[in-house]
Amino acid sequence: PSDVAMVCRSTPVHKVGVTGKGVLVAMVDTGFYKHPFYEWHGYNYQATLAPDAQNVERDENGHGTAEAANIFSNAPDIDFIGVKMGSNPTLAFKMASDLHPAVMTNSWGYSIPEGPLPNFLKPLEAAVIEAVKERGITVCFSAGNGHYGFPGQMPEVISVGGVYAHDTVEGNDFRLEASDYASSFDSQIYPGRHVPDLCGLVGMRPRAAYIMLPVEPGDEIDQGLGGGEYPNQDETATDDGWAVISGTSAASPQVAGVCALLKQVQPGLSPSLIKQILRASARDVKLGKSAHGQPAGEGHDGATGSGLVDSYAAYKLARSVTIRNVHDLPAPR
């Protein structure tokens, strides 16, 4: 995961003392096993249970434990709380929102290609709107891996797609290409809403095997991906507690980590202003196509939105922003 900080350009931000310290980030996912990786690095990594979840010590699937590492790559000194979900993600999301974090990241969702939004998802929609609009929480969601991600397509959230960084350098940067594993689409539920806003790092088809991440030894991901040959499996043991994965599930927490850096620099930044800063400072991606076949190109494009998140450029832009407090007018006499 340390390479994530390098490619996302978080390393120079860390060198000036901006590491996410004092910023609370919440994540809803399958669970958060206390992997030695988190202890080795001294990360403030805590977990709790949603009302319908069980066994806070376990992550039977492994997804949450793995993808959480992406947050710490970009913001190593955050205060992190993972909420293990049960069968109803809305309960977990509400619980995470009730913790009043500065940032929330979510690497899950439903594929909803057409409107109207089904009634069973409206409580989740309302919870997301409340978190962003009423509580001022910056909420990131994965766009999907060929899916039509919801809530990732809601206008209120930062919708995160995928860019692949090749191990070759062109000019002063890596060769960047839209991930053909990551979603991009125009929402049919929210007119005028395009997904994604910008991107994190995601591998390519067939399985986006890209980043070595910690999992609970012998869990579903460890057993399912271990033992076989790359790229369909990751050539690690089925019980070693490591897996090579990514997807937009990795990209959303990467961007959430950058959001935490911005909140350390400017605690008063609103969710909408953070989104504007991230989009204005992202690195242009001109090559490749998304999972939905939309091409990348000069400037804002269908495949990657504004491009790949750039921590250092976002940090510099956030420092230049002046936030004015809005005071209540005195009552008329």
Residue 30: how many CB atoms within 10 A of its CB? 25
What pLDDT, on the 0 to 100 scale, is given for residue 171? Answer: 72
Q: 60-74, 110-124, 158-172, 314-328: which range is least confident on average?
A: 314-328
What b/e readout covers 157-189, taking b as 16+ CB neighbours within 10 angstroms? bbbbbbbbbeeeeeeeebebbbbbbbbbbebeb
CB of 258 closer than 8 Å to CB of 103: no
Band (322; pLDDT cuts 50, 70, 90): confident
Q: 85-89, 237-241, 276-280, 283-287: which range is least confident on average?
A: 237-241
CB of 26 closer than 8 Å to CB of 104: yes
Predicted confidence (pLDDT) at residue 143 exceeds the cutoff of 90: yes
What pLDDT, on the 0 to 100 scale, is given for residue 136? Answer: 99
Q: What percent of the chain has pLDDT over 90?
A: 89
CB of 161 closer than 8 Å to CB of 176: no
What pLDDT, on the 0 to 100 scale, is given for residue 323? Answer: 76
Predicted confidence (pLDDT) at residue 286 exceeds the cutoff of 70: yes
What average pLDDT does the structure give for the chain? 96
The first and second tokens of residue 264, run together, are 């350390």
> 225 — phi, psi (to 5°)?
-105, -20
179-229 confidence digits (pLDDT tens): 999 999 999 999 999 999 999 999 999 999 999 999 999 999 999 988 888
43-98 confidence digits (pLDDT tens): 999 999 999 999 999 999 999 999 999 999 999 999 999 999 999 999 999 999 99
Segment 271-294 mean pLDDT: 99
Q: When comparing pLDDT for 230 and 161, which is higher?
A: 161
What pLDDT, on the 0 to 100 scale, is given for residue 53? Answer: 98
Q: When comparing pLDDT for 236 and 151, which is higher?
A: 151
Segment 242-268 mean pLDDT: 98
The structure's pTM equals 0.95
d(CA 53, CA 91) in angstroms, rounded, equals 10
Predicted confidence (pLDDT) at residue 232 exceeds the cutoff of 90: no
Which CATH number, 3.40.50.300, 3.40.50.200, 3.90.600.10, 3.40.50.11540, labels domain 2-199+248-318? 3.40.50.200
What pLDDT, on the 0 to 100 scale, is given for residue 73? Answer: 98
Please, what sign has the CA dihedral across residues 180, 85, 261, 274? positive
299-308 confidence digits (pLDDT tens): 999 999 999 9
